Amino acid sequence: MTEQLLASLTDGLLLGFVYGLASMGLSLIWGVMRVINLAHGATMVLGMFATYLLFSAFGIHPYVALPIIVVLSLLFGFLVYATAVHRVINAPYLSTLLATFAVNMMIIGIGTAVFTTTPRNVDIPVGRIQAGPVTLLSTRLVATLIAVIVTAGLYLLLYRTRPGKAIRAVANNRAAARLMGISAFRTLALSFGLGTMLAAAAGALIATFFPFTILSGAGYQTKGFVICVLGGLGNPTGALIGGLILGALEGIIPVFMAVNWVPVIEFVLFVLILLVKPSGLLGAR
Amino acid sequence: MTRAFRVILVLSMLAALALSGCAKATPAPTATQPPKPTSPPTAQPTVAPTPKPTPVTKTVVIGFTSSKTGSQEVPSTGQTRGLELWLEQVNAKGVTLPDGTIVKFEFKTYDDESNKERVQQLYTKLINDDKTNFLISPYSSGLTDAAAVIAEQYGQIMITTGAASDATYKKGYQLVFQLYTPASRYLTGAVDLLAKLDPTAKKIAIVHENDKFSTDVVNAAKAYAESKGYEIVLFEGYDSGTTDFAPFINKIIGAAPDAIMGGGHFADGSTFAKQMYEKQVKAKFIALLVAPPELKFADIGEAAFGIIGPSQWEPQAAYSEASAKAAGVQWYGPSVADFVSAYKAKYGEDPAYHAAGGYAAGLILQKAIEDAGSLDTAKVKAALDAMDVLTCYGRVKFNTSAEAHGLQVAHEMVYIQWQKDASGKLVKQVVWPAEGKSADAIYPLSR
């Protein structure tokens, strides 16, 4: 039992880092611009497919492809912001919700037409380290490392650079930030781009673990919402911790009951937290 | 606000357009469809004393959906290829009815996207708009179960292939006929094989897809294994579409079984096998449903080695006119070797069982029409009810009782294992039943 718990918990936590990475994107976009990005899951899948295409067509290793995907997704984020989100940014939540949902449907629609819904795999050789009952797979370890590095990078960006400070200022008070000469459009576009980038990067990493289809995003997006609530909405570092909590739950629950219970418990918890502490476990506000 | 709303409206319309573009049904393949002659090919000029009446050519429309996209794409493609090969062969001559009518066949087919709702819409469309005469099932038990209702409601005969679940045939249907060995007999042979290989093995872990077919299979296998004195140390289902098997694999490792059985369909089964290999699960015997007999299963490389899978049919199958005679049943259709070489010539690869099943669906319908001497549904149904025949696909006989009409009663499974040939290349070998095996099973698996 202890051995199984240890193995299962490790698997869950390693996965949790990547969940966390993806949810930071969701959390950042909400925190800065109060937009619930329903294209989050679809963006993750774009990251997966970018990895797949670069790997299968050009033989580029997923880890080498990651910087390319990061740049492309940042640009894609700007594009989505400028075309779909910016014009409705000051409208009620429902408008931005629908705008991002429309983007989601477009990605899925075009993706289904181009790629079909056939499962894809990025087949790279997987090394393993055996530590007692725990088998650590190289893909998971590298993904964890990358998730930590990206989180640190995001933290540095937000707290140590001018654009980062602008993002935080806009998040805090958009009107006041604008009065201080900060361009709201540029800052919001950057935030949306960063959020999109985080989702795509997480997708690119997940592509090295699991097979995926163009429709895989929905499941990860739902997890993303739970994680954001766990970690506190609008708090990117909280999202990483939320991801770890969710990963740990996914590791621990199956040891004691059927795996089918995992989503039930996750969502019961989700509702409970919303009831007791709507700003999330680590939510400051 | 109105401006924002306009933007949303435009975006939603664009999304709807994109979606409708991908939901468009795939038109029927026409490559294998021969021109429909209204008169027979011109005969050699002979001086005929009395002009013979021109034989009438009738075109029979056979409708089915295939999963060109979605999780069932791989096996469904095999099934469709088998059907297309049959169509090409049967249309070379056509079927001649007693009244001299030459019957030629035509397919109408759409992509069901591996989706039940689509299947029901499309079969209704096939019957009403495309005016089908007979139906073939889609691939997989779930999709077939959805399609069978439509066939029965509209009174059209449906030959099912790629659909092993028993439940569909226990609903009182009269026009649905199953070619596959039913799910209840799918893994029982694996239990027998395990018993033969290792009488000391006692513990089996069963992890299966939570769908109709896999649940039917494992429930029957569990009951059978328990009746043979095995202890089922783990019995758990996973959702269709599961990609992360780590929680199940950790449970399996915790339960330390001698054998692992289960799986579901191709996508999940191959992922499950791959992840078990990545985690170096120590089991002596692994038997999974559906995925292993597919040639594409070898794409997972080393992870495929040693995996056993029940198969409806294999190219090494020893069905022949002689074995038909020995069993006292009629032989029908080409020999196994002829089928395999024709398939290979057309598609450049060996047929897997899904392809043989597809081919057999056409062949059995052809046989029933010949036996009935008519295209009338009631007469063809009577011919199917009376059928007991051996083909290159194996023996086919349907249950005609009221409780389980159409259930397959004569067809038998074979079990394959991925082994390595002298050059280290992964090859499929038949390891069970003993009388049909092409190699001894590798046991225990060493990882």
Pairwise CA distance, residues A104 & B15, whole Å: 8
Q: Which residue has the higher pLDDT, B446 or B281?
A: B281
pLDDT at B60 over 60: yes
pLDDT tens digits along B254-308? 999 999 999 998 889 999 999 999 999 989 999 999 899 888 899 898 999 999 9
Closest Cα of chain B to A189: distance in Å? 18
Q: Which residue has the higher pLDDT, B309 or B37?
A: B309
CATH number at residue B78: 3.40.50.2300
CATH number at residue A138: 1.10.3470
Domain shared by B71 and B161, yes or no? yes
Domain assignment of residue B260, yes or no: yes
pLDDT at A190 over 50: yes
pTM, entire model: 0.77
Domain shared by B422 and B337, yes or no? no
- Kind plus residue range of the DSSP H or E element containing B110: strand B102-111
Domain assignment of residue A86, yes or no: yes
Average pLDDT, chain A: 91
Pairwise CA distance, residues B287 & B186, whole Å: 11
User: What mean pLDDT do residues A158-176 have?
Assistant: 91
Domain shared by B347 and B403, yes or no? yes
Domain shared by B62 and B198, yes or no? no
Query: In chain B, which residues have their Cβ closer than 8 Å to the Cβ of A116?
Result: 68-70, 73
Q: What is the pLDDT of residue B419?
A: 96
Domain shared by B302 and B431, yes or no? yes
Give how many domains chain A has, as a whole number.
1
Q: What is the pLDDT of residue B30?
A: 40
Domain assignment of residue A203, yes or no: yes
Q: What is the pLDDT of residue B35?
A: 42
Contact A77, A192 (CB under 8 A): yes
pLDDT at B39 over 80: no
Domain assignment of residue A285, yes or no: no
User: What mean pLDDT do residues A6-20 have?
Assistant: 93
Domain assignment of residue B348, yes or no: yes
In chain A, whose CA is at the least distance from the CA of B270?
A: A211
Domain shared by B274 and B344, yes or no? no
Nearest to B108 by CA among B135, B70, B78, B145: B135
Domain shared by B201 and B239, yes or no? yes
Domain assignment of residue B47, yes or no: no
ipTM for this model = 0.87
Query: In chain A, which residues have their Cβ closer than 8 Å to the Cβ of B246?
Result: 8, 11, 15
Domain assignment of residue B193, yes or no: yes
Domain shared by B305 and B253, yes or no? yes
pLDDT tens digits along A111-124? 999 988 888 889 88
Give how many domains chain B has, as a whole number.
2
DSSP assignment of B38-82: SSPPPPP----SSPPPPPPEEEEEEEEEE-SSSTTHHHHHHHHHH
Q: What is the pLDDT of residue B433?
A: 79
Select from B245, B250, B299 the residue whose CB has the most chain A CBs within 10 Å, as the one to mutate to test that interface.
B250
B-facing residues of A in 124-153 (CB < 8 A) are: 126, 128, 130, 133, 135, 137
The boundaries of the domain holding residue B83 are 54-181+314-412
Place A184 in a pLDDT band, splitting at 50, 70 and 90.
confident
Place B48 in a pLDDT band, splitting at 50, 70 and 90.
low
Tell if the CB–CB gap between A102 and B11 is shorter than 8 Å.
yes
Domain shared by B427 and B378, yes or no? no
Domain shared by B231 and B157, yes or no? no
Domain assignment of residue A282, yes or no: no
Domain shared by B199 and B156, yes or no? no
Tell if the CB–CB gap between B278 and A254 is shorter than 8 Å.
no
Q: With pLDDT > 90 as the criterion, what percentage of chain B qualifies?
A: 69
The boundaries of the domain holding residue A81 are 2-276
Domain shared by B88 and B154, yes or no? yes
Tell if the CB–CB gap between B280 and A135 is shorter than 8 Å.
yes
Query: In chain B, which residues have their Cβ closer than 8 Å to the Cβ of A260?
Result: 210, 237, 239
Structure tokens at B105: 């066949």
Q: Which residue has the higher pLDDT, B35 or B389?
A: B389
Q: What is the pLDDT of residue A117?
A: 82
pLDDT tens digits along B345-392? 999 998 989 999 999 999 999 999 999 999 999 999 999 999 999 999
